[in-house]
Amino acid sequence: MNKANKAEKKTKAAISFHMKCAKTANGLTHFVMYGDVPKKKMPL
């Protein structure tokens, strides 16, 4: 095992998180779907 892999192994830790949308689902832009189109232009 090289040094980089060893370092990676050492830093691995358990992961857990939970998020909530600050806006309600109907206003999400995680991916723009029907009804979610922002009023203003967004950078592409």
Partner 1 sequence: MSNTRGISFSNIDAEWKLALDPENIFWSLLPRSNGEFMLPDDLISLYKKEHEHLDTEMRNFRFNEPLNCVYIDPTDRCNANCPYCYIPSKIRKHGKQMTWEQLDAALSKIADHFKGAKKKPVIVFHAAEPLLVKDILFQAIREYHGKMLFGIQTNSLLLEKKDVTFMKQYRVGVGISLDAATAAVNNRSRVSVTGGGNFKKAVQALDWFKGYEGLNVIATVSKYNVNKLSELVKFLHRKKVPCVLLNPVRLTQKRSWGLKPDDMVYAKNLMKAVETAMELTQKTGRQIVIGNFTNVILAIISPTARRMMCDISPCGGGRTFLTVTADGEMVPCGEFIGFKEFSGGNIFRTSIDKAMNSKPFKQIRERMVEKIDECDTCDFRHICGSPCPAEMYARGNMYKKAEFCEFYKEIIRQAFKMIAEDKVKYLLRKDSMDQMVMEYQY
Residues found near partner 1 in the complex (CB under 8 A) = 9, 12-39, 41-42, 44
Sign of CA dihedral 18, 22, 25, 29: negative
Min CB(29)–partner 1 separation in Å: 6
Closer of 3 and 17 to partner 1 (Cβ): 17
Min CB(3)–partner 1 separation in Å: 18
CA distances from 8 to 15, 21, 24, 35 (A): 15, 31, 37, 43
Min CB(1)–partner 1 separation in Å: 13
